[in-house]
Structure 1
Amino acid sequence: MPDISVVLPSILQPLAGGQSVLTASADAPRTVASLLDAVTGDYPVLARRLRDETGALRRFVNIYVDGDEVRRLHGLETEVAPGQEVLIIQSVAGG
C-alpha cells in the first residue's frame, strides 16, 4: 500500500520525536485534514502547533501538496493521493 509522506521542517522535528518525515498509509486519496490527524495522532504538541482549537490551519503554517500551497487549493479539504509528498513550512516572524 503506498504511503503519503509529510516532510517536517527542522523546527518542528523535536515535536515529532525527532523525525523529519512522517508517513500515513493511503489506498485512496485523503484530505490534508485527515492526513494531519493520522500523522499527528501520537504527537499532540505537534498537532496543536499546526492547527488551532477549531481545527483551522494556523496562520504561520503553510502546507504544500506537490508544490502547491493548500490555501490556494481547497485548504484542509485539499486531496492528497497516495505517493504524493506534503511539505509543511512554518513561517518565522522577523524582529
Structure 2
Amino acid sequence: MIRVVLPSHLRKHANINGEVTVRIDGPATQQSLLDALETAYPVLRGTIRDHDTKKRRAFLRFFACQRDLSHEAADTPLPDEVVRGSQPFLIVGAIAGG
C-alpha cells in the first residue's frame, strides 16, 4: 500500500482525515498512483490533474523522500521507499504571492 498525504483543502473536499493509502496493480508511477487515488476518491478527479491532459495542476507539487518529483515524467517509477510504504507521497499546495 502506498501512503498519500493530501493538502488540507483536498482532504476537506474528499472528506478525508489524515493520510490515505492506495493499492497499485502493476508498475508504481505517478500516473498509476494518481489513477488509483482518483478511483478510490472520484471527487478528486480534476483537482490534482487536468481532466484532459492529465498534467499536474499549477499550484500543486509532488514530493517524496525529500525530493521534488513535480517535474518527473508521469511514467517515472516512484522511489522504493514510497512503494514499500515507509515514506509517503506528498501532494503539497504551492504558495504564490509577492
The aligned length equals: 92
Residue in 2 that maps onto 1:77: 75
The answer to whether the Cα contact below 8 Å between 1:33 and 1:76 also exists between their aligned partners in 2 is: yes
- Counterparts of residues 44-55 of structure 1 (less than 5 Å): 44-52=42-50, 53-55=52-54
Instruction: Report which stretch shifted further, 54-63 or 34-43.
Output: 34-43
Question: Unaligned 5+ residue runs, structure 1?
Answer: none
- Note if 1:89 corresponds to 2:98: no
Contact 2:24–2:36 under 8 Å retained in 1: no
- Provide the alpha-carbon RMSD of the alignment: 2.2
Question: What TM-score comes out, normalization by structure 2 length?
Answer: 0.75
Structure 2 match to 1:21: 19
List runs of 5+ in structure 2 lacking aligned partners.
Answer: none
Q: Deviation at 1:27?
A: 7.4
TM (norm. structure 1) is 0.77
3-state SS, counterpart of residue 36 of structure 1: helix
Give 1:22-61 correspondences, 5 Å limit.
22-26=20-24, 29-52=27-50, 53-61=52-60
